[in-house]
């Protein structure tokens, strides 16, 4: 069953700017899914819409099978609190709070009772390999460690899906490796993770990915992920079948 489904999602800003054009995609339970595209391709808009932070101009977004179009801000927020975990490029941690407290903030709005939060936060930090950094504050942590705290915050509430927006964007390649390895491991443990990245090597690690170009899905490992009602003129750059890594790499070559 799809945990997150976009159907013909279009997002326009004013009459001229089309950020997303009839994007359709599905993220299945337990998979590690990647959307790759350079900056300006509509990645951030897509991320915001997938995360219910923004509403599409037209089209349907379903989270956990629930259509979000008719929901009030309150209901959407509630859905987000329960079902979606976010990981951001710039971590978005509170420097004044310890790693544990940062993770606990994620649990606070998910409605986890106060007495359970500390235990769950410690557990999540343990899962990302930071059980020795519980009381450290972000400025005392390396970039990779900070992103792992952010990942712990996203997974602590056991969301339906984790959305990771350029999770390696602010990290050196070694730490980027570590973070991607962690996401893969969490995925293998059953978490559903969608990564949005401009980095082809990051995308290459993902078993399934789509490419976004100028607001349109242009490449996919599976025909079902291709956007729109079959437009033959649309360039399909990614290789179908074969080595998925090579396909994504060639896409990024073309985009340079």
Partner 1 sequence: MIRARLSVLDTLAVGTVGLRARRLRSVLAALGIAIGIATVVLVTSIPASSQADLDRRLSALGADLLRADPVQSGDEVRTLPTESQAMLERVGPVTGAAVVANTHAQVRSSALRSQGDGAITALAVSGSLDELLRLRVADGRALDGDVEPTVVLGSDAAERLGLDRLPSAPVTIDIGGVAFTVVGVLAPSPLAVDLQSAVLMDWEDAEVWLDPDVRPTVAYVTAPVETIGELRPVLASTLSPESPGRVLVSRPSDVIAAKQASGATFEGMFVGLAGVALLVGGVGIANTLFASVLERRREIGLRRALGAQRASIRTQFMTEALCLCLAGGALGSAGGAVVTVVWATSRGWPVVIPLGVVCVGIAAALVTGVLAGIAPSVRAARLAPTLALSAE
The contact set with partner 1 (CB under 8 A) reads 44, 48, 51, 53-54, 73-74, 77-78, 80-82, 86, 88, 90, 92, 94, 96-97, 105-106, 108-111, 114, 153
**CB of 156 or CB of 178, closer to partner 1:** 156
Q: List, in order, residues 6 or more apart from 26 with CB less than 8 Å away.
A: 2, 4, 5, 6, 224, 225
**CB of 2 or CB of 44, closer to partner 1:** 44
In 3D space, the residue among 142, 74, 146 whose CA is nearest the CA of residue 103 turns out to be 146
**CB of 11 or CB of 209, closer to partner 1:** 11
**CB of 2 or CB of 105, closer to partner 1:** 105
What DSSP designation does 14 have? T
Distances (CA, A) of 235 to 33, 51, 55, 187: 21, 27, 27, 31
- Is residue 252 within a helix (H) or strand (E), and if so which, with residue range? helix 244-255
**CB of 165 or CB of 225, closer to partner 1:** 165
C-alpha–C-alpha distance, residues 16 and 2, integer Å = 32
Quote the least distance from Cβ 18 to partner 1, whole Å.
17
Quote the least distance from Cβ 95 to partner 1, whole Å.
8
Quote the least distance from Cβ 74 to partner 1, whole Å.
6
Distances (CA, A) of 109 to 157, 195, 199, 238, 245: 10, 23, 32, 40, 38
Quote the least distance from Cβ 114 to partner 1, whole Å.
7
Quote the least distance from Cβ 254 to partner 1, whole Å.
27
Q: Find residue 197's DSSP bridge partners.
A: 36
């Amino acid at each position: 069953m799809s945990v997150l489904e976009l159907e013909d999602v279009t997002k326009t800003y004013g009459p001229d700017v089309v950020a997303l054009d009839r994007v359709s995609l599905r993220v299945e339970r337990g998979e590690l899914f990647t959307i790759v595209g350079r900056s300006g391709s509509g990645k951030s808009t897509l991320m915001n819409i997938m995360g219910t932070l923004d509403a599409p101009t037209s089209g349907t977004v379903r989270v956990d099978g629930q259509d979000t179009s008719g929901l009030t801000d309150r209901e959407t927020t509630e859905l987000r609190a329960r079902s979606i975990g976010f990981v951001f490029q710039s971590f978005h941690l509170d420097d004044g709070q310890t790693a544990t407290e940062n993770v606990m903030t994620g649990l606070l709005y998910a409605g986890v009772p106060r007495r359970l939060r500390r235990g769950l936060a410690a557990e999540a930090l343990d899962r990302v390999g930071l059980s020795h950094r519980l009381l450290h504050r972000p400025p005392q942590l390396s970039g990779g460690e900070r992103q792992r705290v952010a990942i712990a915050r996203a997974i602590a509430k056991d969301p339906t899906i984790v959305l990771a927006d350029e999770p390696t964007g602010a990290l050196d390649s070694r730490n980027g490796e570590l973070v991607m390895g962690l996401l893969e491991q969490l995925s293998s443990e059953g978490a559903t993770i969608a990564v949005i990245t401009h980095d082809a090597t990051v995308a290459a690690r993902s078993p399934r990915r789509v490419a976004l170009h100028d607001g349109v899905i242009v490449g996919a490992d599976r025909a079902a992920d291709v956007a729109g009602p079959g437009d033959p003129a649309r360039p399909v750059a990614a290789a179908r079948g074969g080595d998925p890594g090579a396909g994504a790499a060639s896409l990024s070559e073309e985009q340079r």
